[in-house]
């Protein structure tokens, strides 16, 4: 996350003067967006792994709770089933939070990809307008 924030500072510095950047500076800005995209995908990957972990854990803990309540506490089937849903729900709540972060960071990465394409279009426009 720290590296991503540092890249944003570099991007912001270039974008303050976007209309007066040289082709080399535009290419440098494109490079920063590429690096920021990679960092965003790393962050998205972390959140996806957490989402999948808690999603899987929900089923595991529900099953374990069900068996424990049936065998150890001699609960009835329905009582054990409902109690095991509590353990499942707690993990699904965490899973949902991480899924939201994953979707957000995936969107951030894709927006950086779009900005790289915009900068390529700017370079083409410079050539068309007679620049080098």
Handedness of CA 32, 33, 38, 40 (dihedral sign): positive
- Calculate Rg over the CA atoms of the chain: 24
In-domain check, residue 119: no
Q: What is the mean pLDDT of the chain?
A: 94
- Please state the domain count of the chain: 1
DSSP designation for 20? G
| pLDDT band for position 129 (cuts 50, 70, 90) | confident
Residue where the block lists tokens 């595991």: 60
In a domain, 40, yes or no: no
The answer as to whether 51 is a domain residue is yes
**pLDDT tens digit string along 11-60?**
999 999 998 999 999 999 999 999 999 999 999 999 999 999 999 999 99
Tokens of 30: 């494109």
Q: Which domain holds residue 79?
A: 45-110
38, part of any domain: no
64 lies in some domain: yes
Residue 32: inside a domain: no
Q: Is residue 10 part of a domain?
A: no
Residue 49, in any domain of the structure: yes
């Amino acid at each position: 996350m720290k590296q991503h924030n540092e890249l944003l500072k570099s991007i912001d510095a270039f974008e303050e003067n976007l209309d007066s950047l040289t082709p080399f500076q535009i290419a440098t800005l494109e490079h920063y967006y590429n690096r920021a995209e990679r960092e965003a995908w790393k962050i998205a990957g972390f959140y996806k792994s957490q989402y999948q972990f808690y999603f899987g854990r929900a089923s595991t803990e529900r099953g374990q709770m069900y068996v424990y309540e049936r065998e150890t506490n001699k609960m009835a089937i329905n009582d054990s089933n409902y109690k095991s849903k509590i353990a499942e729900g707690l993990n699904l709540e965490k899973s949902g939070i991480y899924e939201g972060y994953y979707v957000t960071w995936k969107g951030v990465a894709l927006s950086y990809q779009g900005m790289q394409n915009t900068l390529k279009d700017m370079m083409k426009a410079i050539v068309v307008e007679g620049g080098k």
